[in-house]
Every structure is written in C-alpha cells, then in structure tokens.
Structure 1
Amino acid sequence: MTGPVIVLVGPMGVGKSTVGAILAERLGVTCRDTDQDIVERVGKPISEIFLDEGEPHFRELERSAVRTALAEHTGVLALGGGAVLADETRQLLAGRPVVFLEMGLTEAVKRVGLDAPRPLLVINPRQQWRKLMEERRPLYTEVARVVVSTEDRSPEEVADEILTALQLPSTQPEKQQ
C-alpha cells in the first residue's frame, strides 16, 4: 500500500500540524494538512465554509480531500479533527500508519481557547469539546495503530515517541538533553 508514511488524527488543537511538520522534517518528507487543502481549494477559512454552506457540505469537501491526499501524498498527513466521522475515511485508513494524538479537556482549553474561531465550539466550548470527544475518541482509537498523549509534552517529545512507536528512522540525530 502506498500513501503517507504517517497519518495524524485527533481533536482540534492537539498539535497535528505542529507535530506533523517536525515529523516530516525528521523523515525528510513533506507534510500535508487536509484542512489546509480545503481552504486552498475553496478559497476561504473553514469557519466560513461552516457558516456559508453548512457542516454537511464541509464534511463532503473533507472526505474528498482525505481521499485525494491518501492517494497522492507520501509524506506526513494531518487530518482535520472530524475526518474520522466518515465511514469511507475510516475504511481508507485501515492498515495505514495512523497515530491518534490525544489530550484531555484542560489541555484542550489551554490550546484551543474559549474564543477561538472554531465553528463546532461556538456555544459552551467546554461542553461541546467534551461531547465531540465522547463521539470521536472511539473512532480515533479504531483507526489508530498508535495512541500518543500530547499532555504536558513538547511537540518534539511527541514526535520522538511516534517515530519510536512506528519504528521509523529519523534522518536527523536526536538532540541531547
């Protein structure tokens, strides 16, 4: 099976883009983010897509972006937080090197904030985040080969754990602490 060397899944704000960039650099590959693919294709932020066309339209764009990226991209791929909601996407992720980056509510509040432009967190962000995770955690776990906590850890530490867990060689020497 060809495709990404690593696929990152997890909730908004967990660090998929940041960790993905570090992993890509260490592996000597490129990093791609399906949310960014959608923004570039449509020409407006995801929050505006949600407001203007609605979540169902965004989810169709997301399924298409994930399908294309899994077929074309051979580096590190970061998926949007809700990408795993689609049966089609979960099927496409089967057998791939998927890493679920997880964090708890307290960490999410610190990272995402309560006033960030996240369309699914507009009303009562803490409760909404908790509800989203109750729905999505089993799906993230279903598709993941590896689960890595980002709580109280630097993106570099998270990247180290992913490379070790997936037994992937880094092209850069590890930094001494």
Structure 2
Amino acid sequence: MAQPRLVLIGPPGSGKSSVGRRLAELTGLGWRDTDADVATLSGRSISDIFLDEGEQAFRTLERAAVVAALSEHDGVLSLGGGAVLDPATRDELRSYVDAGGCMVFLDVSLSAAAPRVGFNRSRPLLVGNPRQQWKALMDHRRPLYEELATVTVLTDALSVDEVATSILELEAHQ
C-alpha cells in the first residue's frame, strides 16, 4: 500500500499548492491535490458543490478523496484547508502520522495570506468580509493543524523554494 512522503495542511494562502508542486519537482515525486480530486470526481467546482449542496456534502466528498490519496499516492499530497475539520478525516490523518508519515503545517499570518488569496476570488468560506472570515477560520483550525503536524513552517517571509527547502531539511531530521 502506498503512502505519501509528505502531506501539506494549512489555511488558504499558506502555499499548499505552489509548495506542493515545488516539493514534487525537487524530490522527483508526483504531486496530488485533494481539492482537485474532488472537483474532477464530482465534475463540479468546489464553489458549485458548496453552493448547490452545502459544506457537509463537500466534506463527505473531501473525506473520500483524502482516504483514497492516503492509500494510493506515494508523493506529495496537498489537502484543502478545511480537510482537518472532519473528525473521520482527522483520524485518517493521525493514522498516516502514526505510520511514520510527515504532516507539514504551512502556517501563515493574515497579512501574508491576504495578497496570496486575493480575498476577491471564488472561495466559498470567505464570502462576506473575507479578512474576518479567514481569521475566524484560522482561529478554529489552528489547533487542529498544530495537533496533526509533525513539521511546521511559517511561510510569511519565505519564497516557495525556501519553504520547500525548509520542509525537506526538517523532514530529514524528523
């Protein structure tokens, strides 16, 4: 059974996608994103799933995508920012860590996330006052990210290459 070498978690704007792609390049491994998996398998955008069926329906699809990726993918895996919210998904992620997996929390401040996310794009959980929504999401999710992480990297002042290099150095000492 395959297991990802690295799993990236964190809020919107932390760099999970760009850092994941760069880590895949540096390691020669494949990169997979569970949000992309959900969109591909459902044939709809994440925003459309949220609008048409609600967050719980999305979380159910997301959990299935995470479980599949944890058992099928042996490269770098980027999870959606809210994947840690579902208790069953967290159990799967704990099992991955317990089996020796490297769970990387890409931490980021609101001031650094704002220009990255844009706060004007189609993000279903940032509707209304995006800065206030992002802060509320992070206040709720931070303890979950920290609980699951085996490695944490603050991405605020770092380039994608610097974050990827830091992760690989920390992974080697884990």
Q: TM-score, normalised by structure 1?
A: 0.92
Q: Deviations over 1:70-95 (max 9, x none)?
A: 01100000000000011122221222
In 1, the alpha carbon distance for the partners of 2:120 and 2:25 equals 31
- Quote the RMSD (CA, aligned, Å): 1.2
In 1, the alpha carbon distance for the partners of 2:139 and 2:76 equals 26
Report the CA distance between 1:2 and its aligned residue. Answer: 4.4
Partner of 2:111: 106
Runs of at least 5 residues in structure 1 that lack an aligned partner in the other structure: 169-177
In 1, the alpha carbon distance for the partners of 2:119 and 2:46 equals 17
After the TM superposition, which residues 5-154 of structure 1 pair with which residues of structure 2 at under 5 Å, given as runs?
Answer: 5-94=5-94, 95=97, 96-154=101-159
The alignment status of 1:163 with 2:147, answered yes or no, reads no
Partner of 1:171: none
In 1, the alpha carbon distance for the partners of 2:117 and 2:130 equals 10
In 1, the alpha carbon distance for the partners of 2:79 and 2:26 equals 19
Partner of 1:172: none
Runs of at least 5 residues in structure 2 that lack an aligned partner in the other structure: none
SS of the aligned residue for 1:166 comes to: helix
Q: Percent identity?
A: 55
Q: Matched residue pairs, number?
A: 168
Runs of 4+ in 1 over 6 A off after TM superposition: none
Q: Deviations over 1:6-46 (max 9, x none)?
A: 00000112111110111111111100000000010111110
In 2, the alpha carbon distance for the partners of 1:60 and 1:134 equals 23
